[in-house]
Amino acid sequence: MTAVIIGAAETDEVGRLPEHSAFRLHLEGARNALADAGLTKDDVDGVATVGTPGPVQVAHALGVTPAWLDGTSVGGTSFLFHVRHAMAAIEAGLCHTVLVTHGESGRSRVGAPPRAFGPDSLLGQFELPYGTMGPATTFTVTALRYMKETGLTHEQLASVAVAQRRWSSRNPRAAMRDLVTVDDVLASRLVAYPFHLLECCLVTDGGGALVVTSRERAEALGTRKPPVYVLGAGESAESPIISQMEDFTTSRSFRLSSQAAFAEAKITHGDVDHLMIYDAFAHVPIYGLEDMGFVGRGEAGAFIAEGHTSPGGRLPMNTNGGGLSYTHTGMYGMFAMQESIRQLRGEAAAQVPGVEVGVVLGNGGMFMSAATLALANRLP
Amino acid sequence: MSADQSKAIPRPTPETRPFWDGAAAGELRIQRCVACARHYFYPRPVCPHCGSSDVEWVTASGRATLYSYVISHRPAPGFAGDGPYAIAVVELEEGVRMMTNIVHTEITPENLALDMPLRVVFEPRGDVHVPLFEPAGEAS
Ligand SMILES: [Zn+2]
């Protein structure tokens, strides 16, 4: 059985939305995704979202009586986990139509959960005493080791931001649309050496939602938009704190989740027309390209710098502009999936011609968890 | 000094208390599995390598090498007076890694070469001591 995404939409706007609470962003995403699917809340019997506000509150506010809930909350990739769990639940007959919602007031912090970690937590004892300030100072700490081991240059790292700006310049919804050069990136202020401002993700407000059902129900309902088939999915996790990642040059959960997704989908790298890799910071797509097996070890920096992931390149990647240039609410995974679905439907702002198979790699925390989805607009 | 100007102070739990007691005594204590003879960090009651609960506390040599780092230009509370500071992950001689700060050297990329030798020092912080690392030089 194949799960099908029959509804997908983001909030009306993304960016700076001080009049929207995080909860309202969930509900707006849900409303738009249901409208996209041509369904009502009464067609939904499963709800999945992250721990805050959680699936109970989302289901209650929408007036959905759930037969199945998933509150998996493992960082920004959680929504990819929800799709995989929904596939399994639908296949097992636990429910038939699942709404996956995201809403986050990452910039305006309206109705947002506190970011505090107690002094007796793992972070409070073994990271915060060293002056960490969230992802910019922890997610990034692997990069110098990767650079030493592989020879990645500062210019190649900067080229990730350059490539993605080429995409976002074609996307009117993107927060940052001006083309930049490697020199521009390296001249932007240092946030946490070796990372400059333009190599770090945006911090925005926004949301989105998906409607997932079975192929049989999708055909019975008759979808308004071209169906997007979930051919395969995988998930894994590694360490809750970055210092315990077993090898700073490769992500185990990137490798394992993508291997599982490719195997289930029965696809090879040559089948992939379009790729989304969660880009909280410029090094993450480099790890992703290598850990998923699209390029060999140490080759991803040159691959991106040579333009192979840019418009016209042979592996279009992060075509909305990514977390670096499109939007990044904090838990970006929903937006990576939305862009993959738009490309497969042929409705992306920077549409790549002839996309039939797309892959999405979501990261959670600081290389803490990962999930991969293999999507297609046709059955194999 | 007001609360928002002080560096974060860790609070031990029963599982981590020996680590912090060691730091107060000037010793870097980590855990070692009796069953498989491997060390591990962060403190917890089960060996992540073999699953054994037969684990013991040992005192590490305090010698380490620099595994990776960033230089933060956006100070956390209490760090503004330090200038740019190195948030590092070091690899202890015993094979385990931990996050720390590099101190007692000018914090520049030129001064901080990966794999350079380091040794532990302890900084009083509230009612605990925090392990930091300084360059060990060629003599180590
Ligand atoms: Zn053991």
The tens digit of pLDDT for each residue in B70-121 reads 999 999 999 999 999 999 999 999 999 999 999 999 999 999 999 999 999 9
Cβ separation of A145 and B99 shorter than 8 Å? no
Q: How many CB atoms lie within 10 A of CB A91?
A: 12
SS3 A323: helix
Chain A residues inside the 8 Å CB shell of B98: 126, 243
Task: List residues of A whose CB lies inside 8 A of any B CB.
Answer: 118-120, 122, 124-133, 136-138, 140-145, 148, 189-195, 241-244, 248
| CA distance to partner chain A, nearest, from residue B78 (Å) | 8
Domains for chain A: give ranges and CATH numbers.
Answer: 3-113+204-230 (3.40.47.10), 131-201+232-376 (3.40.47.10)
Amino acid residing at B42: Y
Beta strands A68-70; A3-10: pairing state:
unpaired
What is the predicted pLDDT for the residue at A249? Answer: 98
Amino acid residing at A218: A
Strand partners, A5: A212, A228
What is the predicted pLDDT for the residue at A345? Answer: 98
Domains for chain B: give ranges and CATH numbers.
Answer: 14-135 (2.40.50.840)
pLDDT at B139 over 70: no
Helix (H) or strand (E) holding A178: none
Which of B62, B90, B87 is closest to B75 using CA atoms?
B87
Distances in whole angstroms, Cα of residue B28 to Cα of each of A25, A52, B25, B120 = 47, 38, 9, 8
SS3 A322: helix
pLDDT band at B5 (very low <50, low <70, confident <90, very high): confident
Cβ separation of B70 and A194 shorter than 8 Å? yes
d(CA A335, CA A277): 11
pLDDT at B2 over 90: no
d(CA A351, CA A171): 10
Chain A residues inside the 8 Å CB shell of B68: 141-145, 248
CA within 13 Å, CB half, A91:
11
d(CA A211, CA B85): 46
Between the CA of B23 and the centroid of ligand 1 the distance, in Å, is 24
Q: How many CB atoms lie within 10 A of CB A11?
A: 26
Strand partners, A281: A200
For residue A172 the two structure tokens come to 């009117």
Which of A215, A234, A239 is closest to A85 using CA atoms?
A234
The minimal CB distance from A137 to the residues B41, B72, B98 is found for: B72
For residue A364 the two structure tokens come to 């959670």
Helices (H), chain A: 22-37, 54-62, 78-91, 122-126, 135-138, 143-150, 154-168, 182-187, 215-221, 252-265, 283-291, 300-305, 322-325, 333-345
As a whole number, mean pLDDT of residues B37-61 equals 97
CA A35, A38, A41, A47 torsion-angle sign? negative
| CA distance to partner chain B, nearest, from residue A224 (Å) | 48
Report whether A3 contacts A213 (CB < 8 A): yes
d(CA A178, CA A156): 19
SS3 A8: strand
Chain B residues inside the 8 Å CB shell of A123: none
What is the predicted pLDDT for the residue at A115? Answer: 76
Report whether A223 contacts A6 (CB < 8 A): yes
Residues 6+ apart with CB under 8 A from A240: A122, A365, A368
CA A153, A277, A350, A196 torsion-angle sign? negative
Q: How many CB atoms lie within 10 A of CB B12?
A: 18
| CA distance to partner chain B, nearest, from residue A218 (Å) | 45
Amino acid residing at A9: A
Chain B residues inside the 8 Å CB shell of A238: none
Q: Return the residue of A nearest to B108 by Cα.
A: A193
Residues 6+ apart with CB under 8 A from A255: A291, A292
pTM score: 0.97
The minimal CB distance from B9 to the residues A119, A142, A145 is found for: A119
Between the CA of B35 and the centroid of ligand 1 the distance, in Å, is 5
pLDDT at B3 over 70: no
Cβ separation of A248 and B88 shorter than 8 Å? no
d(CA B38, CA A378): 50
Chain A residues inside the 8 Å CB shell of B87: 130-132, 137-138, 141, 192
Report whether A298 contacts A150 (CB < 8 A): yes
d(CA A185, CA A153): 13
Q: Return the residue of B nearest to A133 by Cα.
A: B76
d(CA A314, CA A311): 9
The minimal CB distance from B11 to the residues A119, A148, A248 is found for: A119
- Strands across the sheet with A68-70, in order? A68-70, A46-48, A97-105, A205-214, A3-10, A228-237, A369-376, A357-364, A274-277
Residues 6+ apart with CB under 8 A from A369: A74, A75, A77, A81, A235, A236, A237, A238, A253, A363
Between the CA of A145 and the centroid of ligand 1 the distance, in Å, is 27
Q: What is the pLDDT along chain A (380 residues), one digit of tens a residue?
A: 689 999 999 999 999 999 999 999 999 999 999 999 999 999 999 999 998 899 999 999 999 999 999 999 999 999 999 999 999 999 999 999 999 999 999 999 999 988 788 999 999 999 999 999 999 999 999 999 999 999 999 999 999 999 999 999 999 999 999 999 999 999 999 999 999 999 999 999 999 999 999 999 999 988 889 999 999 999 999 999 999 999 999 999 999 999 999 999 999 999 999 999 999 999 999 999 999 999 999 999 999 999 999 999 999 999 999 999 999 999 999 999 999 999 999 999 999 999 999 999 999 999 999 999 999 999 98
- Whether the complex's predicted ipTM is more than 0.90 is answered with yes
Report whether B9 contacts A124 (CB < 8 A): no
